[in-house]
Structure 1
């Protein structure tokens, strides 16, 4: 949730987080719903695919585990590597 609050302040096209194992009461992905409620796209990569807190690992190695509806509308899909999805999104929004 704390990272999602930063995203609210800058309103990026897509926020990407690490699910940190999702955890109790889905705490690791709670920010996705918060951002969805503000019309912002967000997804999380699996903690098994990328190192928590390391952006390069998230981008290079991350596999999307969850995506809110706004992210899905941008073409972000769960169970697929993040990097090619970001590349495709970048081509569409440049």
Structure 2
């Protein structure tokens, strides 16, 4: 069963967290993706931050997919940006890359439900 790491900022992860499920309050932009790439979690969960110009708030998903890592976001309307507990308890999945979908993540599903499924398999 993967370890659960709940961090307000994805920058709190390190290589010792490889294979964990990372629930963060960070936006899903490229700068956050680089920290996730360095730590290599099984799944990174971010906030979509309203998606933004040129989909900058979800750019991490494609970047991490290209690196073989699963990632998804929760809607900024469901969880507070920068607060991982809000991501985990209140977040509703808004976007997911194909690797996250393969893990069983579903858009419109509550983050806590995703975590429950992943931690029982």
Distance of 2:119 and 2:31 partners within structure 1: 26
Pairing 1:1-94 to 2, within 5 Å after superposition: 1-92=30-121
State the TM-score, normalized to the length of structure 1.
0.96
Aligned positions, number: 92
Which aligned segments of 4 or more residues in structure 1 are displaced greater than 3 angstroms?
A: none
**Separation in structure 1 between the aligned mates of residue 117 and residue 64 of structure 2, nearest angstrom:** 22
Question: What CA RMSD, in Å, does the superposition of the two structures yield over aligned residues?
Answer: 0.5
The answer to which structure has the higher helix fraction is 1
Question: Structure 2 length normalisation: TM-score?
Answer: 0.75
Give 5+ residue unaligned stretches, structure 2. 1-29
Unaligned runs of 5+ in 1: none
CA distance in 2, matches of 1:42, 1:53: 17
More strand by share: 2
